Amino acid sequence: MNQTRIDHGPLRVVEESPAYWRAVFDSPPLNLVGSAVIEGLYRLLARMDASGELRVVVFESANPDFFLAHFDMSGDTADAVRRTGRSGLGQPHDVLLRLSEHPVVSIAKIRGRARGIGSEFALACDMRFASRENTLLGQPEVGSGVIPGAGGTERLPLLVGRGRALEVILGSDDFDGETAERYGYVNRALPDAELDDFVDTFARRIASFDRRPLAAAKRLVDQGSLPSVDRLLDGRRAFGETLTWPETHRRQAALFARGMQQEGDLENRFGAHLTDLLGDAAED
């Protein structure tokens, strides 16, 4: 089978056919969402816009432990956050909106950890299929002193309902693949050994259909199932405000002191660290 491979920085695109592409996140060691990943997604979207044959894109990770860890909090993404896309949202949020509204079908094949904007990226895709044994999903922002800022508070309730969305967001803990499937966080959680074949077969099935009915059906479903741009803008503004709070600065400093954005126990078990992050001060 002939494949075309194109690198967009830390996003590698494998064109299985003109109608079916795989986009592979490869930004070691943790697949943090930084400026290079965002720029790679914009370049991919430009190529998706230009293709008249593409039907489906599957997003996956080269790292079996991290699909997308979370937002890069080192300051690398500051310029991207300040720059706005055509929606009026900052670039990290704009790129997810464009993906969710795109006529091409998007599928997240999740293996490993997807937290924060990594989870929000998966939520922005049209469908999510996860490894039952090797998936951890979460929105740990509240326990980290902020709030989900890239659509988590807007998209997650539409999938799982209000109560479960509050459990995920306010509890700031990790959810395994089986629980995520039961909640509706993902479409299905499959045995890890079956995940690749299942998603590939499903993507090839979609790729065999005509583009116009696929796009028309997706557009009609989107009308009743996607949050408005105004709601996403409200979330972005609220997220920006949290970054000015002194308690947020304390929690972010404590996270970096424990090893955030480095390989190790904090990134592996993020949710478990949040309840005692500030020690006794967390109860004040």
List pLDDT tens digits, range 115-125: 999 999 999 99
CB 198 within 8 A of CB 129: yes
Domain 4-207 in CATH 3.40.720.10? The answer is: no
- Please confirm whether the linkage preceding 29 is cis (ω < 30° from 0): yes
What is the C-alpha to C-alpha distance for residues 175 and 254, in angstroms, rounded to an integer?
A: 23
pTM of the complete model: 0.94
CB atoms within 10 A of CB 4: 11
Lowest mean pLDDT among 35-49, 152-166, 232-246: 232-246
- A 10 A CB-CB count for 105 gives 23
Question: Is there a catalytic annotation at residue 120?
Answer: yes
Strand partners of residue 12:
7, 24
DSSP letter string, 26-43: --TTTT-B-HHHHHHHHH
CB within 8 A of 279, min separation 6: which ones?
none
CA distances from 36 to 80, 232, 275 (A): 10, 23, 32
**pLDDT of 233:** 87
**What mean pLDDT do residues 83-108 have?**
90
Question: What beta strand segments (E) does the chain contain?
Answer: 4-8, 11-17, 20-25, 56-61, 66-68, 105-115, 127-138, 175-176, 188-190
Indicate if the pLDDT at residue 80 is higher than 80. no
Task: State the catalytic residue, choosing from 15, 16, 60, 141.
Answer: 141
Tokens matching residue 29: 């060691």
The bridge status of strand 188-190 relative to strand 175-176 is unpaired
Q: Where are the domains of the chain?
A: 4-207
The pLDDT of residue 282 is 43
Phi-psi region of 145 (alpha: psi -120 to 50; beta: other; left: phi over 0): left
**Residue 209 class from Cβ within 10 Å (0-12 exposed, 13-18 middle, 19+ buried)?**
middle
* Predicted confidence (pLDDT) at residue 126 exceeds the cutoff of 80: yes
Q: What is the model's pLDDT at position 86?
A: 80
CA gap 201, 190 in Å, rounded: 14
Question: Is 141 considered catalytic here?
Answer: yes
Mean pLDDT of all residues belonging to the chain = 92
Please tell me the distance from the alpha carbon of residue 140 to that of residue 138, in angstroms, as a whole number.
6
- 108 forms beta bridges with 59, 128
Q: Write down the pLDDT at residue 204.
A: 98
Amino acid identity, residue 251? R
| CB burial readout 43-72, b (16+ within 10 A) else e | bbbeebeebeebbbbbbbbebebbbbbbbb
User: Is the model's pLDDT at 83 over the cut of 80?
Assistant: no
Single out the catalytic residue among 15, 120, 154, 267: 120
pLDDT for the residue 283: 45
| Structure tokens given for 200 | 């590939």
Quick one: pLDDT at residue 161?
96
Nearest of 43, 65, 49, 40 to residue 115 by alpha carbon: 65
Is 87's pLDDT higher than 90?
no
Report, as an integer, the average pLDDT of 166-187.
98
